[in-house]
Amino acid sequence: MVFGVPFDSTSSFRRGSRLAPAAIRYAYRNLEAFDPWYGTAFPELSITDLGDLTEEEDARLVVDTVESVVALLKADGKIPIMLGGEHSITTGAVRNFKECSMVIIDAHSDFRRSYFGNEHNHACVTHRSLEILGPGRIFSVGTRSTSREEYEDPDYSKVIFYSSREVDARGMAKIADEIDAAAKGKIYFSIDMDGLDPAEAPGVGTPEPYGISARGLRLLLNKLARRIVGFDIVEMTPLYDNGNTAMLAAKIIQDFLGSREQGE
Ligand code: MN
Ligand code: MN
């Protein structure tokens, strides 16, 4: 079940992620509807697009609304596929998955307790998620930007951070196996598009060099897709895109759906 959250009012650098749901949908419609690798004809899957939530400025209100919408979808046995918007919205979804583990793709640790006086700033989402899920349940992949304050936070080690350097050194296949073995229960999967290399995903709010590759992300998704019960793509902004980021976001959704269809 797809829905968009056009919200970007806490973005600290480049705004525009409120425009991403429309851009990702437009790109998705331009993808081929069949993928022989997965053997999937995407229009035949039972996926509904609910459209977008009403645009609001208040982060707390948006997070609470996302929580309610995802609660309804979950109660109905549906898998939410949320198109952001900025990363703060993920907290609302995660509140519905207290029993799950979480995988985050992100350049940033997003581990601030509060930022600019707002605990629902997008730079705080990993900390908020830790408060919901508890220690040892969150795996954040692609990290390469963190403040000293976050790094020295006594709770920092309660999240398993795989830096992009570590992914480079050890390879995503090994890390995917490790997460698959260590994660307990089902998985909520959150993709901050800036986790990817800006060469592949330039249209993001806060780009950071030396990101993980789209192929690495695909590998991780292939490995974990059948355990995923909630999914989001956030922080993409069409205002800085050459078209490739929206297309990649759309393709990632196909890879998620296709991986679920494919046997082990
Ligand atoms: Mn983020
Ligand atoms: Mn980020």
Q: What is the 117 CA–ligand 1 centroid distance (Å)?
A: 17
Q: What is the 13 CA–ligand 1 centroid distance (Å)?
A: 12
Mean pLDDT, the chain, integer = 96
Please choose, from the candidates 107, 112, 171, the residue with its C-alpha nearest in 3D space to the C-alpha of residue 140.
107
Q: What is the predicted pLDDT for the residue at 73?
A: 97
Q: What does the block give as tokens for 181?
A: 């073995």
Among all bound ligands, the one having the nearest atom to the CA of 142 is 2
pLDDT in tens, 125-140: 999 999 999 999 999 9
Average pLDDT over every residue of 110-124: 93
Average pLDDT over every residue of 36-47: 94
Q: What is the 107 CA–ligand 2 centroid distance (Å)?
A: 5
pLDDT in tens, 57-114: 899 999 999 999 999 999 999 999 999 999 999 999 999 999 999 999 999 999 999 9
> Looking at the DSSP assignment, which residues form a beta bridge with residue 232?
82, 190
pLDDT at 143 exceeding the cut of 70: yes
Which domains are present in the chain? 2-249 (3.40.800.10)
Q: What is the predicted pLDDT for the residue at 49?
A: 96
Looking only at the bridges linking them, the beta strands covering 49-52 and 2-5 are parallel
pLDDT at 12 exceeding the cut of 80: no
Q: What is the 248 CA–ligand 1 centroid distance (Å)?
A: 17
> What is the number of helices (H) and of strands (E) in the chain?
9, 10
pLDDT at 13 exceeding the cut of 80: no
3-state DSSP assignment of residue 51: strand
Q: What is the predicted pLDDT for the residue at 54?
A: 93
pLDDT in tens, 196-253: 999 999 999 999 999 999 999 999 999 999 999 999 999 999 999 999 999 999 999 9
**What's this model's pTM, rounded to 2 decimal places?**
0.97
Average pLDDT over every residue of 172-199: 98
pLDDT at 263 exceeding the cut of 80: no
